[in-house]
């Protein structure tokens, strides 16, 4: 395997700076869209960081797209920390956000602060994300009070799929939309530096984004958000189980991987791999000496 160079800036001559939560706010003020993607491993984080993404979310979506769970509920803190550490080794500039998994912040405020702290202390993250609105205010205040930036997450909150009745668009009625707006304002007041809006009508997401001072990051929430996020395995066509309507596929890597694996299998069966260029030979002299030793 060839050596992987350590993280370095892109070839752009522009001096890159580490993205912080302040950069998020400044981008919103300037009307500059914020880019965010999910990553769960070192090479993906390295490629994304070099491509110039503003922020990398180590999402608990890893439970579905990497670990093969049915939903995000079984994901543990230890699994999250393991993947965060890999991502942190690959990314130098992007703002790194660790997604707090189910039951890591809902049981008590103390546990929530301790678990949020693990993302920074052990996982190398810069901030955490958690799901929910008005019911999370005390938790958000406590984590922010411990010096840990918090990103909120409203709309379709996958950790509540059983309560929501599945992966469904949220905020479609006037009442539900108004509740979501109130939740967003409350999260902002509690100290969140940004909020993900997932699977909500585009008009509502735009309205909420205008009302807030902090940036919104949309996924399935239209172009009126202050930034966008996608699950990288969806964008790359790496996750074949289903693709949400709001995903734009930029590659079909699952098919490409299958092709490469099939070609490899065929090459091995046909003894077309490894070739001479993939093999190492001994010096003739050493080989003759070896044969003399081995064969007497």
Give Cα 254 distance to the centre of its chain.
19
Q: By CB under 6 A, tell whether 232 contacts ligand KIV.
A: no
**Residue in 81, 229, 235, 238 binding ligand KIV, rule: CB under 6 A:** 229
Alpha helices in the chain (DSSP H): 21-30, 42-51, 62-65, 77-90, 109-121, 137-145, 161-164, 174-190, 202-211, 232-235, 253-269, 284-295
Smallest gap from residue 216 Cβ to ligand KIV (A): 12
Smallest gap from residue 196 Cβ to ligand KIV (A): 5
Burial class (CB in 10 A: 0-12, 13-18, 19+), 184: buried
DSSP assignment letter at 170: -
Show the site string, 149-188: x = touches ligand KIV by CB under 6 A, - = not: ----------------------------------------
**Residue in 86, 127, 231, 235 binding ligand KIV, rule: CB under 6 A:** 231
Taking CB under 6 A as the criterion, which residues in 50-109 touch ligand KIV? 57, 59-61, 99
Q: Which of 104, 109, 113 is nearest to 131 (CA)?
A: 104
Smallest gap from residue 131 Cβ to ligand KIV (A): 8
Smallest gap from residue 129 Cβ to ligand KIV (A): 7
Euclidean distance between CA atoms 25 and 32, whole angstroms: 10
Among residues 66 and 148, whose Cβ is nearest to ligand KIV?
Answer: 66
Smallest gap from residue 219 Cβ to ligand KIV (A): 5
Q: By CB under 6 A, tell whether 234 contacts ligand KIV.
A: no
Among residues 183 and 198, whose Cβ is nearest to ligand KIV?
Answer: 198
Q: By CB under 6 A, tell whether 196 contacts ligand KIV.
A: yes
Active site residues: 198
- One DSSP character per residue, 54-121 reads SEEEE-TTHHHHTS--SSSTT--HHHHHHHHHHHHHH-SSSEEEEEPPTTSSSS-HHHHHHHHHHHHH
For 22, the 3-state DSSP assignment is helix
Euclidean distance between CA atoms 232 and 36, whole angstroms: 10
- Site size for ligand KIV (CB under 6 A): 11
Q: By CB under 6 A, tell whether 37 contacts ligand KIV.
A: no
Show the site string, 109-128: x = touches ligand KIV by CB under 6 A, - = not: --------------------
The CA-atom distances, in angstroms, between 291 and each of 68, 281, 288 are 51, 14, 5
- What are the tokens at 263? 């070609």
Smallest gap from residue 281 Cβ to ligand KIV (A): 49
Among residues 59 and 227, whose Cβ is nearest to ligand KIV?
Answer: 59
Q: By CB under 6 A, tell whether 212 contacts ligand KIV.
A: no
Q: Say which residue the tokens 């993947």 belong to.
A: 83
Among residues 9 and 74, whose Cβ is nearest to ligand KIV?
Answer: 74
- Site for ligand KIV, rule CB under 6 A: 38, 57, 59-61, 99, 196, 198, 219, 229, 231
């Amino acid at each position: 395997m060839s050596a992987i160079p350590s993280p370095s800036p892109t070839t752009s001559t522009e001096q890159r700076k580490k993205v912080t939560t302040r950069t998020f706010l400044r981008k919103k003020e300037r009307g500059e869209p914020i880019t965010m993607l999910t990553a769960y491993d070192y090479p993906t984080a390295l490629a994304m960081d070099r491509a110039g993404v503003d922020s990398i979310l180590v999402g608990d979506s890893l439970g579905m797209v990497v670990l093969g769970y049915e939903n995000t509920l079984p994901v543990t803190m230890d699994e999250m920390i393991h993947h965060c550490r890999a991502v942190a080794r690959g990314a130098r500039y992007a703002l790194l956000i660790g997604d707090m998994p189910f039951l890591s912040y809902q049981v008590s405020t103390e546990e929530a602060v301790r678990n949020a702290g693990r993302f920074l202390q052990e996982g190398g993250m810069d901030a955490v994300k958690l799901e929910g609105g008005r019911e999370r205010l005390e938790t958000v205040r406590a984590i922010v009070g411990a010096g840990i930036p918090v990103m909120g997450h409203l709309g379709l909150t996958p950790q509540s799929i059983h309560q929501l009745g599945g992966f469904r668009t949220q905020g479609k009625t006037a009442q539900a939309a108004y509740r979501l707006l109130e939740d967003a304002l409350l999260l902002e007041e509690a100290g969140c530096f940004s909020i993900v809006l997932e699977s909500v009508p585009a008009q509502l997401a735009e309205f909420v984004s205008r009302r807030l001072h902090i940036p919104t990051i949309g996924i399935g929430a239209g172009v009126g958000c202050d930034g966008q996020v996608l699950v990288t395995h969806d964008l790359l066509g790496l996750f074949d189980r289903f693709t949400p309507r709001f995903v734009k596929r930029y590659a079909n890597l699952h098919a490409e991987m299958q092709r490469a694996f099939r070609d490899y299998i065929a090459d091995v069966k046909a003894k077309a791999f490894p070739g001479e260029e993939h093999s190492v030979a001994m010096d003739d002299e050493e080989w003759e000496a070896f044969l003399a030793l081995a064969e007497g």
